[in-house]
Chain A
Amino acid sequence: MKKTKLIVAIVSVALILSGGILWASDHADAPNVKTKSTDITDLYVFQGADVNNLVFVGNVQGLMSPVTTQTAAFDENTMIEFKIDNSGDHVEDLVIQCVYKGGKMYIYGPVKPGTTGLSSTVMGTAIVAVAVTPYTATTPIIASAYGITAFAGPRDDPFFFDLDQFHKITGGTATGFVDPGTDTFKGTNVMSVVVEVPKSLLNSTGKIDVWLQTKQKV
């Protein structure tokens, strides 16, 4: 009974959301970014192999098949920007800006932004520029400077979820997940930027809050 009520609730929510909901991570989350170079799939931030570092991963342009990935590219008009709050007020104190130009991804920061919020100006000169790793490369291209290491290029989408079964649940044709589930994101790729940064550059007192934005030139 309780479960039935729950399923009914889920179905009604699905109907309210309608228009082909996609509970991915942030893949194709909103009309204004769907299928564009600004569409973020996921943000990851974790301690590096060197525990003195944090790794920032920003992924965009999800759900790409291998064929699509062959011709996928970053967009010179799109900035991928990590926002970092180290004071607990949910306003960014530092940013790491990633801007693609002429085959390379230029990395700026961590640096204090010119202004906080939605509009961003490229700050200073790049601390490191890394050539985008081609789809066919057997080893990733990596560049380092001042303790900061960078990668940019196509990668397997690290996100995993049985989205199809979830759709069956919300659609009322299933009452729960199955075991084992099936990873709907198996075999799909993203365009990824990975930046590893010494923790000492983040002015942290133990905790930071991070969010990822994309934005375009006018």
Chain B
Amino acid sequence: MKRNVYISIGVCTLIFVLGACETNSYDTNPTDPNTGAVFAVSGDQVGRPGIATVFVGTADKDNFNVTIPSVMNAAYQTKFEAQLQAYNSGGFTTNALTLDAAAFTGVLATDVLGVKTTGKTTYYDGTNVLTGRTLDDDVIDVSLILIFGGPTGASNPTLISDNVDSNDKAFSASFPYEAAPW
């Protein structure tokens, strides 16, 4: 009886020590509390900024988040084109990328962020188009220009820039790049 108690204490001590060792090893060789865990309930889904909020109608907003990109074009291109024309009172012809309404919304409806793996990454800098998205890209102005700016990108001058050209805090040139919280 007494011996059993000692054994129990010994095993507990052993478990405790192993547990402690395991915890300490996280920093260099993470042991894993999550392996095999299943996350099956869909939440949100985003490629480019503002797509769901600008082009997806209220009734479709939850559905858009659970429509995988490979079938988005079939499900949403026509709706996006109608929305684009509604914003432009039916007068959208082409935009600064020389895309007509069908072609432009064909790009937008598959909501993925294209990223070049060589060279400059930017949402749009006047030369490079959709080669990524940096923290300081003025994606709103780009979107406004392409939606309201017409073929030259200069139509509707009071609607093609919100005149907020940069973030409220400076970004860092080194990892993790984003600014500390307020």
Alpha-carbon distance between A166 and B162 when the two chains are bound, in angstroms: 8
Q: Which of B133, B139, B163, B166 is A45 in contact with, Cβ under 8 Å?
A: B133
Contact of A218 among B38, B140, B164 (CB under 8 A): B38
Mask of A165-180 contacts with B, CB within 8 angstroms, 1/0: 1100100000111111
Q: Is residue B83 contacting chain A, with contact meaning CB distance below 8 A?
A: yes
The docked-state distance in angstroms from the alpha carbon of A65 to that of B113 is 28
Known: A31-B62, A69-B182, A192-B178. A213 touches B42 (CB 8 A): yes
Residues facing A in B58-108 (CB within 8 A) are 58, 61-62, 64-66, 68-70, 72, 83, 86-91
The answer to whether B181 and A66 touch across the interface, beta carbons within 8 angstroms, is yes
CB-defined contacts of A212 to chain B, threshold 8 Å: 44-47
B114 touches A207 (CB 8 A): yes
Tell me the dominant secondary structure on chain B's binding face.
loop
Given A25-B139, A48-B175, A211-B112: A6 touches B156 (CB 8 Å cut-off): yes
- How far in angstroms is the closest Cβ of chain B from A24? 6
Residues in A69-116 with C-beta less than 8 Å from chain B: 69, 78-79, 81, 83, 85, 89-91, 99, 101-102, 104, 106, 108, 116
Cα distance, A185 to B57, chains bound together (Å): 24
Q: How far is the CA of A145 from the CA of B46 in the complex (A)?
A: 27
B112 adjacent to A119 (CB under 8 Å)? no
Count contacts on A: residues with CB < 8 A to the other chain: 121
Which chain A residues (31-83) contact chain B, with CB distance < 8 Å?
A: 31-33, 36, 38-40, 42-49, 54-55, 57, 60, 65-66, 69, 78-79, 81, 83
- Please name the residue on chain B nearest to A45 by beta carbon: B115
Contacts A30-B44, A33-B43, A120-B39: A140 and B164 contacting too (C-beta < 8 A)? Answer: no
| CB-defined contacts of A99 to chain B, threshold 8 Å | 34, 37
A43-B117 contact in complex given A125-B32, A156-B178, C-beta closer than 8 Å: no
In the complex, A177→B171 CA distance in Å? 25
- Inter-chain CA distance A68–B157, complex, in Å, is 38
Once A106-B30, A126-B32, A182-B164 are accepted as A-B contacts, the answer to whether A210 and B43 lie under 8 Å apart by CB is: no
On whether the beta carbons of A210 and B182 are closer than 8 Å, the reply is: no
Cα separation A91 to B70 with both chains bound (whole Å): 6
Residues in A whose Cβ lies below 8 Å from that of B26: 104, 129
Most chain B CB neighbours (cut-off 10 Å) among A118, A165, A208: A118
Judge whether A23 and B53 touch: CB under 8 Å: yes
Instruction: Please give the distance in Å from A76's CB to the nearest CB on chain B.
Output: 9
Shortest CB distance A110–B (Å): 12
Q: Is the CB of A46 within 8 A of B135?
A: yes
Give chain B residues whose Cβ lies under 8 Å from the Cβ of A154: 181
B32 adjacent to A121 (CB under 8 Å): no
User: Are A213 and B133 in contact (CB-based, < 8 A)?
Assistant: no
Q: Which one of B50, B56, B181 has the highest number of Cβ atoms from chain A below 10 Å of its Cβ?
A: B181
Bound CA–CA A100/B131 (angstroms): 30
Residues of A within 8 A of B57 (CB): 16-17
Q: Given A18-B58, A26-B50, does the pair A187, B39 have CB atoms closer than 8 Å? A: no
- Complex A-B, nearest 9 residue pairs according to Cβ-Cβ distance, in ascending order: A176-B158, A38-B43, A214-B43, A151-B176, A30-B61, A181-B163, A209-B112, A186-B168, A129-B30
A residues with CB within 8 A of B: 2-3, 5-6, 8-10, 12-13, 16-19, 21-26, 29-33, 36, 38-40, 42-49, 54-55, 57, 60, 65-66, 69, 78-79, 81, 83, 85, 89-91, 99, 101-102, 104, 106, 108, 116-122, 124-129, 135, 140, 142-143, 145, 149, 151, 154-156, 158-162, 165-166, 169, 175-183, 185-189, 192, 194, 196, 199, 202, 204, 206-218
